[in-house]
Amino acid sequence: MNIELIHERVHAGNYLVKNHAVYHALKEDFELKHMIEAILNGRIIEEYPDDQRVLICGSITSQEKRLLYLHIVCECSDPVYIEIVTAYIPNGSQWENPPFRRRK
Protein backbone atom coordinates (compact mmCIF):
# COMPACT_ATOMS: atom_id res chain seq x y z
CA MET A 1 0.00 0.00 0.00
CA ASN A 2 1.36 3.41 -0.84
CA ILE A 3 0.55 6.78 0.65
CA GLU A 4 -0.91 8.15 -2.61
CA LEU A 5 -3.60 5.45 -2.68
CA ILE A 6 -4.42 6.12 0.96
CA HIS A 7 -4.71 9.85 0.18
CA GLU A 8 -7.01 9.12 -2.78
CA ARG A 9 -9.34 7.02 -0.64
CA VAL A 10 -9.43 9.58 2.17
CA HIS A 11 -10.12 12.43 -0.28
CA ALA A 12 -12.98 10.35 -1.73
CA GLY A 13 -14.40 9.80 1.76
CA ASN A 14 -13.69 6.08 1.55
CA TYR A 15 -12.53 5.53 5.12
CA LEU A 16 -13.92 3.99 8.28
CA VAL A 17 -12.90 4.92 11.81
CA LYS A 18 -12.64 2.15 14.38
CA ASN A 19 -13.61 2.56 18.04
CA HIS A 20 -10.00 2.43 19.23
CA ALA A 21 -9.16 5.55 17.18
CA VAL A 22 -12.19 7.37 18.61
CA TYR A 23 -11.18 6.33 22.14
CA HIS A 24 -7.68 7.81 21.76
CA ALA A 25 -9.08 10.97 20.16
CA LEU A 26 -11.33 11.57 23.14
CA LYS A 27 -8.64 10.65 25.68
CA GLU A 28 -5.88 12.71 24.03
CA ASP A 29 -8.06 15.64 22.93
CA PHE A 30 -7.94 15.53 19.14
CA GLU A 31 -10.68 15.07 16.56
CA LEU A 32 -11.43 13.18 13.35
CA LYS A 33 -10.38 16.24 11.34
CA HIS A 34 -6.95 15.95 12.95
CA MET A 35 -6.68 12.28 11.98
CA ILE A 36 -7.51 13.17 8.39
CA GLU A 37 -5.07 16.09 8.44
CA ALA A 38 -2.28 13.82 9.73
CA ILE A 39 -2.99 11.19 7.07
CA LEU A 40 -3.07 13.71 4.24
CA ASN A 41 0.18 15.45 5.19
CA GLY A 42 1.88 12.41 6.67
CA ARG A 43 4.13 9.66 5.50
CA ILE A 44 4.33 5.93 6.08
CA ILE A 45 6.95 5.23 8.73
CA GLU A 46 6.30 1.51 9.30
CA GLU A 47 4.62 -1.25 7.33
CA TYR A 48 2.95 -4.39 8.69
CA PRO A 49 2.41 -6.49 5.55
CA ASP A 50 1.03 -9.54 7.39
CA ASP A 51 -1.86 -7.38 8.67
CA GLN A 52 -2.05 -5.18 5.56
CA ARG A 53 -1.52 -2.16 7.82
CA VAL A 54 0.73 0.86 7.82
CA LEU A 55 1.74 3.39 10.45
CA ILE A 56 1.52 6.97 9.25
CA CYS A 57 3.06 9.93 11.04
CA GLY A 58 1.70 13.36 10.22
CA SER A 59 1.60 16.78 11.79
CA ILE A 60 -1.50 18.61 12.99
CA THR A 61 -2.22 22.01 14.43
CA SER A 62 -3.76 21.61 17.87
CA GLN A 63 -6.61 23.70 19.22
CA GLU A 64 -3.95 25.77 21.02
CA LYS A 65 -2.23 26.38 17.65
CA ARG A 66 0.69 24.12 18.56
CA LEU A 67 2.28 21.76 16.05
CA LEU A 68 1.81 18.14 17.15
CA TYR A 69 2.41 14.79 15.52
CA LEU A 70 -0.15 12.01 15.30
CA HIS A 71 0.43 8.37 14.55
CA ILE A 72 -2.34 6.73 12.56
CA VAL A 73 -2.56 2.98 11.93
CA CYS A 74 -4.47 2.29 8.71
CA GLU A 75 -5.61 -1.08 7.48
CA CYS A 76 -5.62 -1.42 3.72
CA SER A 77 -7.13 -4.88 3.20
CA ASP A 78 -10.45 -3.67 1.76
CA PRO A 79 -10.44 -2.88 -2.00
CA VAL A 80 -12.46 0.33 -1.47
CA TYR A 81 -12.06 1.59 2.10
CA ILE A 82 -9.19 2.47 4.40
CA GLU A 83 -9.81 1.62 8.04
CA ILE A 84 -8.37 3.99 10.62
CA VAL A 85 -7.59 1.37 13.25
CA THR A 86 -6.09 3.66 15.86
CA ALA A 87 -4.64 7.13 16.24
CA TYR A 88 -2.55 8.53 19.04
CA ILE A 89 -0.04 11.17 20.01
CA PRO A 90 3.31 9.33 20.07
CA ASN A 91 5.13 8.99 23.36
CA GLY A 92 8.41 10.91 23.30
CA SER A 93 10.16 8.22 25.32
CA GLN A 94 9.45 5.66 22.57
CA TRP A 95 9.86 7.80 19.45
CA GLU A 96 12.54 10.23 18.31
CA ASN A 97 11.42 13.82 17.76
CA PRO A 98 9.95 14.34 15.28
CA PRO A 99 8.48 10.91 16.01
CA PHE A 100 9.45 9.09 12.84
CA ARG A 101 11.81 6.44 14.26
CA ARG A 102 11.51 4.15 17.24
CA ARG A 103 14.12 4.69 19.90
CA LYS A 104 16.53 1.82 20.29
Provide the 3-class DSSP secondary structure of residue 52: coil
- φ/ψ region of 26 (left if φ > 0, alpha if ψ in -120 to 50, else beta) reads alpha
User: Between 57 and 64, where is the model more confident?
Assistant: 57
Amino acid 43: pLDDT: 95
- What CATH topology corresponds to 3-88? YaeB-like fold (3.30.2310)
Amino acid 14: pLDDT: 98
Amino acid 10: pLDDT: 97
User: pTM of the prediction?
Assistant: 0.93
Amino acid at position 104, single letter: K
Average pLDDT across the chain, whole number:
93
- pLDDT of 47 over the 80 cut: yes
CB 53 within 8 A of CB 74: yes
